Amino acid sequence: MQELSDRGMRITFKLYASLADFLPAGSEKHTIKIDIPDTSTPNELIDRYKVPRDMAHLVLLNGIYLKLEDRDRNIIKDGDTLAIWPPVAGG
């Protein structure tokens, strides 16, 4: 569990594929619960965990894609899930 001093919200944070290397210790199945300040934006979390921004290709908040311009907005709510992938594809 990642404890931050100014706990405001608890969210589920997921990093997949090659981004898994950036997950903090204690993560399981690419997932960790983290406590974050109320004002956190997706890009702040991306930076905090040192995920290169150009590798944060698919950024999903509760499964919904966040456009680049939404990633600096204060749109995360308590209990949300933020999941991030590098560019990936399949078929």
Partner 1 sequence: MAWTRNVMRVNLTKGTITNEPLNMDWAMDYLGQRGLASKYLVEEIDPKCDALGSDNKLIMTTGPLTGTCASTGGRYSVVTKSPLTGAIACSNSGGFIGNEIKNAGWDMIIFEGISPSPVYLYVENDKAELLPADDLWGESAWETDELIHKKHQDPLIRIACVGRSAEAGCLYAGIINDLHRAAGRSGVGTVMASKNLKAVAVRGTKGVGNVKDPAAFLKATEQGKKVLAENAVTGQGLPTYGTQVLMNVINEIGAMPTRNMREVQFEGASKISGEAMHEPRPTDGRPNLTTNAACFGCTIACGRISTIDQGHFSIQNKPEYWGASGGAEYEAAWALGSDCGVDDLDAITYANFLCNEDGFDPISFGSTVAAAMELFEIGAITTKETGGMELKFGNPKALAWAAEVTAKGEGFGKDLGLGSKRLCEKYGHPDLSMTVKGQEFPAYDPRGIQGMGLTYATSNRGACHLRSYTVASEVLGIPEKTDPLVTDGKPELVKAFQDATAAVDSTGLCVFTTFAWTLEDIAPQVNAACEGDWTPEKMTEVGERIWNMEREFNLAAGLTAKDDTLPKRLLKEAAKTGPATGKVNGLDEMLPKYYQIRGWTPDGVPTAETRQRLGL
**Alpha carbon separation from 6 to 19, 32, 34, 68 (Å, rounded):** 26, 18, 12, 26
Contact between 4 and partner 1 per CB under 8 A = no
Give me the least distance between CB of 64 and partner 1, in Å please.
5
Task: Identify residues 31-50 at the interface with partner 1 (CB under 8 A).
Answer: 31
Contact between 91 and partner 1 per CB under 8 A = yes
Question: What's the angle, vertex CA 29, arms to CA 64 and CA 65, rounded to 5?
Answer: 10
Contact between 22 and partner 1 per CB under 8 A = no
Neighbour tally for 26: CB within 10 Å: 10
Residues in the site for partner 1, rule: CB under 8 A?
14, 16-18, 20, 29-31, 55, 57-58, 60, 62-65, 67, 81, 83, 85-91
